[in-house]
Amino acid sequence: MKKIRSALISLSDKSNLKPLLQELRRNNIKIISSGGTFKAIKKLKFKCLDVSDFTGFKEILNGRVKTLHPKIHAGILNKRSSKSHSNDIKKNNFENIDLVIVNFYPFEKTIEQTKNHSKIIENIDVGGPTMVRAAAKNYNDVTVITSTDQYSELINELKKNKGSTSLEFREKMSRLAFSETAYYDVVISNYFNKFNSINFPKRKILYTNLIENLRYGENPHQLGALYSQNKKNKLEQIHGKTLSYNNYNDILAAITISKSLPKNIGTVIVKHGNPCGVSALKNNLDSYQSALESDPISAFGGIVSCNYKITQKLAFMLNKIFLEVIVANGFDKKALKILKSKKNLRLIDSSKISLSETWKFNSLDNFTLIQSEDKKIFSKKDFKIVSKRQPSKSQLDNLMFAFNVCRYTKSNAIVLASNKSTIGIGSGQPSRLDSCEIAINKMNKFSKIKNEIVAASDAFFPFVDGIEKLVQSGASAIVQPAGSIRDKEIIKFANETNTVLVFSKTRHFRH
């Protein structure tokens, strides 16, 4: 046990101070503080010694230098069991500081609120992290607190131990403190890399916050958790049982597709990370129905993501089949009442989610692959008509829709579509020909549409056999990336069969 006799408090977030100060006073702990924290403590009518009076040195450089003083850091770093340390403390007439309570300038909040570089730089805390690191290093003798969330734990520790703290408690707070300083520095480092447009620096350091410990990972024998750069989960669960790792995986896949569709338009149904039905019809009821009809068997037990607010009429339709999760840009009250009748159905509000900046990660052992997300916004300039037959406006619109869905489907991917709705999806096959067959079989099994069928492929056809199979199935227009040594053969086949053939300037593998 280590008795606490003096505490240094320096806070940016001054909330919940009173109960803490009451406990410090109850244990006759001397309080040292400065600036706004000193004023806040005095306003609450507690005794407090200003840092400048404690050190005998006034703060300078507009407050940049106030706690960076030997008397402060010697008091924190002094190893109480060391004779040489004790001699240095006595020789310089210094005194021990047993408790450091610090939280940092709100750098992360500042970069969210402004792009003013000078203001951002002034919100880089120097003295705070320095004191925290010193106290955390000397946890054998000093207690360090870095968050308002830790106040109640400190209060309980002091009450339980009559003004002292245990080594176990100090060690825990030290571990949390080093995590806090590391996180803070990583946010700053990432800001500077972004400010200088450096995507892949020599050291790529990520910062995330634990949102939720999951029951397990992809399978029961695996561990799993959800992290986010945001401190709060912007995926707001408003009903249903706890989400699993697989649920989150499918939700993120579905939202990625949904957010690529026009604003407030489109329905996406996902199963095992792949879309099984997508529709971008403007009427939301028709959109859902078309997405469902693409593959109603796969949709069973899947995840529906609605890029719009769910109404009562749609809620009745959604309730007719078994779904694991429904994601939407909000739910009206009547819709919620209907959907909540199923106690286990998870309802997720994704209206706060924005995919403006996303990176994809794939890791194994100590290797990590990083790439930017495939967020390219398609325009007609990204496509070249290479066949003699020209596409109609509706054909071109459907080709662009199908190609967009294709890039979010596991490679090799083939998407058949009509009327801005999928009617057959073949995904994840080593052979592109197999993906064609799966998409065609889905269409023949479920779709009633037999006119103006278009097809999209995420990469070029290496041989004519794939495009031939699609044309034989009824596809009158096909889009694929250019780049095959047999592009001329494929163009020739399209012309011989009077098929519209469009080449994309970009390839869209997804593994």
Q: What values do phi and psi take at 163, rounded to 5? A: 90, 5
244-253, pLDDT tens digit by residue?
999 999 999 9
Residue 231 pLDDT more than 80?
no
Q: CB count, 10 Å around CB of 205?
A: 13
pLDDT of res. 357: 67
Give the mean model confidence (pLDDT) for residues 16-41. 94
343-375, pLDDT tens digit by residue?
999 999 999 887 776 788 888 888 889 888 888
Residue 175 pLDDT more than 70?
yes
Residue 165 pLDDT more than 70?
yes
- Strand ranges across the sheet with 143-145: 49-50, 30-33, 6-10, 99-102, 143-145
| The one-letter amino acid at 39 | K
Rounded CA separation 2/169 (Å):
11
pLDDT of res. 253: 94
Residue 118 pLDDT more than 90?
yes
pLDDT of res. 487: 92
pLDDT of res. 430: 94
Which residue would you say has higher pLDDT here, 2 or 229? 2
- Confidence bin at 107 (pLDDT 50/70/90): very high
Give the mean model confidence (pLDDT) for residues 61-66. 84
pLDDT of res. 60: 87
Q: Indicate the SS3 state at residue 225.
A: strand
- In this prediction the pTM is 0.86
Rounded CA separation 305/311 (Å):
14
Residue 6 pLDDT more than 80?
yes
Residue 40 pLDDT more than 90?
yes
- Confidence bin at 305 (pLDDT 50/70/90): very high
Which residue would you say has higher pLDDT here, 353 or 289? 289
pLDDT of res. 331: 96
- Report residue 215 as tokens: 């029951």
Give the mean model confidence (pLDDT) for residues 399-413. 96
Averaged confidence pLDDT in the chain: 93
Are β-strands 30-33 and 6-10 bridged in parallel, bridged antiparallel, or unpaired? Answer: parallel
For the chain, helix (H) and strand (E) counts, in that order, are 19, 23
Give the mean model confidence (pLDDT) for residues 318-328. 96
Give the mean model confidence (pLDDT) for residues 324-349. 96
